[in-house]
Amino acid sequence: MAIFKGAAVAIVTPMHEDGSVNFEKFGEQIDYQIANGTDAIVVCGTTGESSTLSHEEHLDTIKYCVEKVNKRVPVIAGTGSNCTETAIYLSTEAEKYGVDGVLLVCPYYNKATQNGLYGHFKAVADSIKVPVILYNVPSRTGCNLKPETVVRLCTDVENIVGIKEASGDLSRVARLMYLADGKVDLYSGNDDQVLPLLSLGGLGVISVLSNIAPKETHDMCAKYFEGDTKGATAIQVKAIELINSLFCEVNPIPVKKAMNLMGMEAGVLRMPLTEMEPENTARLEKAMKEFGLLK
């Protein structure tokens, strides 16, 4: 059985002005997400600035999220690393806190071979019992997890159940699902490609957009699964310029700006991420107004 079906939020980690994690605002954001229909929460992923959290902060944030959610929706923890031992450490600790699954990004910078990727993911998955979702995002990692390797992992390792696919290559995804034979739970990692991936057999999206439009993101998936493809398509198309604006600078710079514009107090970014450029902020504000998020 899949960890979740529908829209999961790749949730932002709010920060105080001094850069420390703002758990009060984080709790408010978790409640806001659940109240607006989010189907699962992915904590400490790329959008949560996991790359600049210390191990202690990373684990404290996961623990807080699990306790705050309190089984209302599944919690999936980003515990990937380019160091296999580190990924095992983060994953085993997260499992102790009661997460419903982990999200493992491809090792970045090392540029492992496909056999290396297989060995890495298998080692981490073998160290825990909770389900594992792989995460392919070659634009960030410099490493592409091939469809054949994904299927091999999902076949050979019992608790590797699926993939967050953010390559943007629909032909690759189609081949993956051709090879999968029902063994791979597919989730879109790109908000502008939710419906195309659902049409190929996807189960949902792990979404940046959902931080500011959780109901609409949830409804897009729900309508598709209910057979209302026209309604789902209308939401996807309406959101395109907003989605493009959320990625006109590297994530999570724009989504944190959007949340701050909405009064959600997501706070500052950690270096080396910096504040959004004025012309891009203007574009984002315009898109948010057109979507109905700002007056």
Residue 175 included in any domain: yes
State the virtual CA torsion across 106, 166, 20, 56 in degrees, nearest 10: -30
Residue 122 included in any domain: yes
Does the annotation mark 135 as catalytic? yes
Mean pLDDT over all residues of the chain? 97
Selecting among 118, 135, 187, 224, the annotated active-site residue is 135
CATH code of the domain containing 31: 3.20.20.70
Q: Tell me the per-residue pLDDT of 190-209, one tens digit each, with 9 for 90 and over.
A: 999 999 999 999 999 999 99
Residue 1: its pLDDT value, please? 75
CA angle, residues 217, 219, 224, in degrees to nearest 5? 105
Closest by CA to 99, choosing from 23, 150, 43, 33, is 43
Return the number of other C-beta atoms located less than 10 Å from residue 181's C-beta.
10
Number of domains the chain contains: 1
Provide the β-strand partners of residue 186: 163
Does the annotation mark 164 as catalytic? yes
Residue 277: its pLDDT value, please? 97
User: What's the CA gap between 247 and 47, in Å, rounded?
Assistant: 11
Q: Tell me the per-residue pLDDT of 59-108, one tens digit each, with 9 for 90 and over.
A: 999 999 999 999 999 999 999 999 999 999 999 999 999 999 999 999 99
Q: Is 142 left (phi over 0), alpha (psi -120 to 50) or beta?
A: left
Helix (H, G, I), strand (E, B), or coil: what is residue 225?
helix
Q: Tell me the per-residue pLDDT of 208-228, one tens digit each, with 9 for 90 and over.
A: 999 999 999 999 999 999 999
Residue 137 included in any domain: yes
- pTM for this model (two decimals): 0.96
Return the number of other C-beta atoms located less than 10 Å from residue 222's C-beta.
20
Residue 15 included in any domain: yes
Residue 63: its pLDDT value, please? 98
Residue 153 included in any domain: yes
Residue 26 included in any domain: yes
Residue 251 has pLDDT above 80, yes or no: yes
Selecting among 25, 63, 164, 256, the annotated active-site residue is 164
User: Can you tell me the mean pLDDT for 116-136?
Assistant: 98
**pLDDT category of residue 266 using cuts at 50, 70 and 90:** very high
State the virtual CA torsion across 252, 256, 262, 267 in degrees, nearest 10: 170
Q: Tell me the per-residue pLDDT of 14-72, one tens digit each, with 9 for 90 and over.
A: 999 999 999 999 999 999 999 999 999 999 999 999 999 999 999 999 999 999 999 99
Which residues are within 8 A (CB) of 15 and not within 5 positions of it... i.e. 6 or more apart? 21, 22, 49, 266, 267, 268, 269, 270
Task: Supply the range of the domain harboring residue 132.
Answer: 6-228
Residue 190: its pLDDT value, please? 98
